[in-house]
Chains A and B, each alone.
Chain A
Amino acid sequence: MIDLKRISKWVNVGGKPNFILKDINLNIKEGEFVSIMGPSGSGKSSLLNIIGMLDDSSEGEYFFLEQAVHSLKEKQRSQLYKQYIGFVFQAYHLIDELTVYENIETPLIYQNIKSSERQAMVADILDRFQIVGKKDLFPTQLSGGQQQLVGIARALIGKPKLLLADEPTGNLNSRQGEEIMELFKQLNNEGVTIIQVTHSEKNAAYGSRIINLLDGRVDLS
């Protein structure tokens, strides 16, 4: 599903390239649950952003479902992204001005899905996550765990094949964190490919594979 070949990312600091990622080769198959680990600044988030097409690599090739992402035009890439990828953030990143319902509905609007269909889809997912009662609340009226639940619901509403999560439990207490991880496992069992960035060994253990990053390289030791 995901095939990274010699991916590097750098920024120029004072004229010299400063490598964030160097020579990453990575292959992830459909149905996997991968945890990316590593100390702060090791390039975990950058790698996730590149996989999620939110950022370009400076060098290397990236194939997603056999398509060469690195040579796609912006519009095609955005098309691909909208269709297959969902994103979950550590800080939830819900839109404060929108209700829970509207937050979850937003990606569907951008996919030009009809209003009646959207209603049904949002109702489904609210039901599934058991947050129907909260649908008219605003994010600030929810606890952190509930907000993240909404964040995940929003990421899943478009039925993505790939779910990317950047420290999804980083702002949660351990009990809420466990619930989220259980949810991820369950989603994975239903066939969603998941890549998560995490600091926690315990959370990483939910996954089927662990990739360790150190100073921008895959640490094979």
Chain B
Amino acid sequence: MRMIRSYLTLVLRGLYRDKSYSFINIFGLAMGLSVCLLITLYVMDELSYDRFNEKSARIFRINGDISVHGNGANDIYSPAPMGATLAHEYPAVENYTRIIDVRDILVKNGNTTIIEPDCILADSTLFDVFTLPFVAGDPHTALLRPFDMVISESAAKKYFHSASTDVLGKTLHVNNESDYRITGIIKDMPKQSHFRANFIRSIAELNYDRQPDAWLNNGFITYVLLRPGATQSNLDHSLTQLTKKYIIPGIQDLFNGQTGDLLDKKNRFNYYSIPLTRIHLWSHLPSETGNGNSLYVYIFTIIAAFILLIACVNFMNLSTARSARRAKEVGIRKVLGSLRSELITRFLTESLLTSVLAMLIALVLAILLLPGFNRLADKQITFSFLTEGWLLPYLLGITLIVGLLAGLYPAFFLSAFMPQRVMKGNFSAGFRSGWLRNALVVFQFTIAIILIIGTMVIYRQLDYVRHKDIGYNREQILIVRNTYSLWTHAKNFQKEVEHLPGVLGTTMTFFLPTYSGSMSSVYYKDAALSADQTVLLSDWPVDANYISVLGMKMLDGHNFEPGNPTDSSGVIINETASNLLGYNNPIGATIYDRQYDGRVVPHKILGVVKDFNSGTLHSKIPPMMLHLAEERGSLAIRVKTTDMPGLIAHIEKAFRAWDKMSDQPFPYEFMDQAFNRLYRADQRTGTLFCVFAAFAICIGCLGLFGLVSYAAEQRTKEIGIRKVLGASTGNILGMLSKEFMLLIVLSSAIACPIAGWGMDKWLDDFAYRTDISWWIFAAAGGMAALITVFTIGLQALRAARTKPITSLRNE
């Protein structure tokens, strides 16, 4: 005990005496540890998605991958009978549930109406598959009848000020349309779920069973629960068989056996499964917007490890470097009879103590940084040792490992000094040529340069996204959302807004280009509807002003003319669709589709509109068709005014005047905002990357700073000699920097290919992307060099300025 106390006093005294060294060492390590800790929390959070479900390992989602004649969709939807059929006919499947993601609903609450964003429709089996504990009600019967609704605890408290059984049987008025009976209350879903539900309506309200070709319509998100012991390949095998048994005959029926080339290999009707626990990180289908990305989890994990490594490397480097100063102490101790093992213990205690100290500071730092980090990463991570069982052992483990790792080298290195050599003062010769240290510096800079390149590429791509010609003009457009609630008055509202001063034009439809999501319908190039003349087209209902108000360009033909009766069934297609259809002159050509009642409707092609991007640049522009229809989803208003608030107030007044039935908050936004929201996830990645890069660079610089001081200290004698031989301050500065510059060149050489490869992968995630130009590499290397010069400049200057005689005294 006394031994340890004496160690502790000595260690603390030593840390105090060498203040700047201690600061660099402890603070650098603490910074590394805290960033590492935050990233670990982030990664653990990402990995924990959907694992709150007790049966998560046995739950799979069925995805559909359909492609016909060069266009199609691989998405999360499957046909209505899929789940039930799997559960009844295939032994691997124990149970199933289907979901339809409704998202926004309007819920009446006393005199006000509130937009609730998280509504789904689900089968009553939802609670058998997913683990959603009930606070009140019976999970087995809760969703059996149409207009039954299960709500979350917080929703219950919000609307009924209670979450107990007395809420059951009460009703909520939804969408100004129907009353829903509350049949159950569940605990709020954990945030780590790939779908969110505060309002769960029974799927029985849909009359899907009456659809004639139910097998050919993908509209449901189907989850299946496998029996214990069944594997994913069992399931996929079942899906293949099911496709043969139901989907293919369905197609043959549709065409009365004349399927033409429809069932050829180049067309796909595939259904496949994805494990529930992989959905959040590994699934990026068009209809999934809130998912994470495994790539980032990998990248961030690697960054965390690297930042920690860099911090450890600093610690080792600086400790070894400082040993020059401490060598004399070691020598004296040895002469006084200290054993080598005692010295090793002493140094290890010292480094362990430092790492404990650093960890304590890191914890404080992490707690202080967590709110900001949560904002950056859009997370709600909390720091609790109690709920996160792994946290405490993890922290202790890291502290121990870092302490030992960082202490081992100096400990063995220092304790091996020969006393008489050390005390004579010429101990330095042996460890100047530290290839290990050089390797470590190269390692640090490689990481830093990779991160700099990464940040630059991400920001360049985001900039590209912002400035790319996306085929429509999103500036100066105001969008009033949710005009569905105006019912038939929507058109009146539109007319009124059109006449307001400052309004250049309006167009009413839910299908604005900032909307993301794909919906394809089947069309035919011939009136006989033969199978090999099918094409899948995205079909958007719009009004006649759509193209002009959104600033799109017509390439050929003419826009809709509302007065012209033939235009009501006419369509405008985009370039991609024009290419897909393959007509030399598409104007005047006709395409056909089949209505539910079997009627064949011809659509004359009136014009071709220049391609415009819908959704994000992550996805390609689909072949698209616009047709005239009264779609009341939202109103886009092109404005030109100096008094925007005044204009908005006028529009709101008009909205309120027609909005007789609901009293929702005025739901408006600028199209620009809607556009930026599409890239929020990308923006977030960029920011995170930038922050991590800054941290890595900072920590690296701290270490470099220490190393240069060390190098200068080591070489004072040489610097002195060189000055006596006529070297100027510039010569010395160059000499000290040259070594590090060489290391930077080497680091760049290693970093560039790695970063280039990695970022190319990232960019591949965009259908429309920039290239990685050579100047990015040059700039990153230059930046690293600049940072180095800046870091070492001061120290080197100080060394170069010292009078040579001070370092050349013989005494």
Q: Which residue of chain A is the closest to B808 with respect to CB atoms?
A: A93
> Complex Cα distance A78/B804, Å?
13
**B731 close to A (CB within 8 Å):** yes
> Complex Cα distance A81/B721, Å?
14
Q: Which residue of chain B is the closest to A170 with respect to CB atoms?
A: B810
Q: Are A55 and B803 in contact (CB under 8 A)?
A: yes
> Complex Cα distance A140/B429, Å?
10
**A144 close to B (CB within 8 Å):** no
With contacts A110-B728, A111-B726 taken as known, whether A93 is within 8 angstroms of B721 at the C-beta atoms is yes
**A146 close to B (CB within 8 Å):** no
B3 to nearest A CB, angstroms? 40
For A83-98 the 0/1 string (1 means CB < 8 A from B) is: 0000101110111110
> Complex Cα distance A106/B726, Å?
9
Residues of A within 8 A of B803 (CB): 54-55
**A107 close to B (CB within 8 Å):** yes
B799 to nearest A CB, angstroms? 15
Q: Are B725 and A110 in contact (CB under 8 A)?
A: yes
> Which of A49, A91, A106 interacts with B805 by CB under 8 Å?
A49
- Contacts A/B (CB < 8 Å), 8 sampled: A54-B803, A54-B804, A90-B810, A93-B724, A96-B718, A110-B727, A158-B726, A167-B810
For B708-733 the 0/1 string (1 means CB < 8 A from A) is: 00000000011011101111100100
The 10 closest A-B pairs by CB, nearest first: A110-B726, A82-B726, A107-B725, A93-B721, A54-B805, A110-B727, A106-B725, A49-B805, A107-B726, A87-B724
Q: Which residue of chain B is the closest to A171 with respect to CB atoms?
A: B810
Choose among B432, B722, B726, B810 the residue with the greatest number of A CB atoms under 10 Å from its CB: B726
Which residues 59-105 of A have a CB within 8 angstroms of B?
78, 81-82, 87, 89-91, 93-97
Sample of 11 more A-B contacts, CB < 8 Å, known A49-B805, A95-B721, A96-B429? A54-B724, A54-B803, A55-B805, A89-B808, A93-B724, A93-B808, A110-B725, A110-B727, A110-B728, A154-B725, A167-B810
Residues of A within 8 A of B721 (CB): 93-95
> Which of A55, A78, A91, A94 interacts with B726 by CB under 8 Å?
A78
Choose among B721, B727, B803 the residue with the greatest number of A CB atoms under 10 Å from its CB: B721
> Complex Cα distance A94/B432, Å?
16
Residues of B within 8 A of A107 (CB): 725-726
Number of interface residues of B (CB under 8 A): 18
Q: Are A110 and B724 in contact (CB under 8 A)?
A: no
Could you list which residues of chain A lie within 8 angstroms of chain B, going by C-beta atoms? 49, 54-55, 78, 81-82, 87, 89-91, 93-97, 106-107, 110-111, 140, 154, 158, 166-167, 170
Q: Are A78 and B725 in contact (CB under 8 A)?
A: no
> Complex Cα distance A93/B731, Å?
19
> Complex Cα distance A49/B721, Å?
13
Q: Are B724 and A91 in contact (CB under 8 A)?
A: no
Q: Are A81 and B805 in contact (CB under 8 A)?
A: no
> Complex Cα distance A82/B727, Å?
9
Q: Are A110 and B804 in contact (CB under 8 A)?
A: no
Residues of A within 8 A of B724 (CB): 54, 87, 93
> Complex Cα distance A131/B717, Å?
25
> Complex Cα distance A74/B674, Å?
65
Residues of B within 8 A of A89 (CB): 808, 810
A175 to nearest B CB, angstroms? 22
Q: Which residue of chain B is the closest to A157 with respect to CB atoms?
A: B725
> Complex Cα distance A8/B170, Å?
103
A119 to nearest B CB, angstroms? 18
With contacts A54-B803, A54-B805, A93-B717 taken as known, whether A106 is within 8 angstroms of B429 at the C-beta atoms is no
Q: Which residue of chain B is the closest to A46 with respect to CB atoms?
A: B805
> Complex Cα distance A93/B429, Å?
14
> Complex Cα distance A6/B429, Å?
43
Q: Are B429 and A81 in contact (CB under 8 A)?
A: no
> Which of B722, B726, B808 interacts with A81 by CB under 8 Å?
B726
A108 to nearest B CB, angstroms? 9
> Complex Cα distance A54/B720, Å?
10
Residues of B within 8 A of A55 (CB): 803, 805
Q: Are A110 and B731 in contact (CB under 8 A)?
A: yes
Q: Are A91 and B810 in contact (CB under 8 A)?
A: yes
> Complex Cα distance A87/B726, Å?
11
> Complex Cα distance A158/B727, Å?
13
For B155-166 the 0/1 string (1 means CB < 8 A from A) is: 000000000000
> Complex Cα distance A167/B808, Å?
13
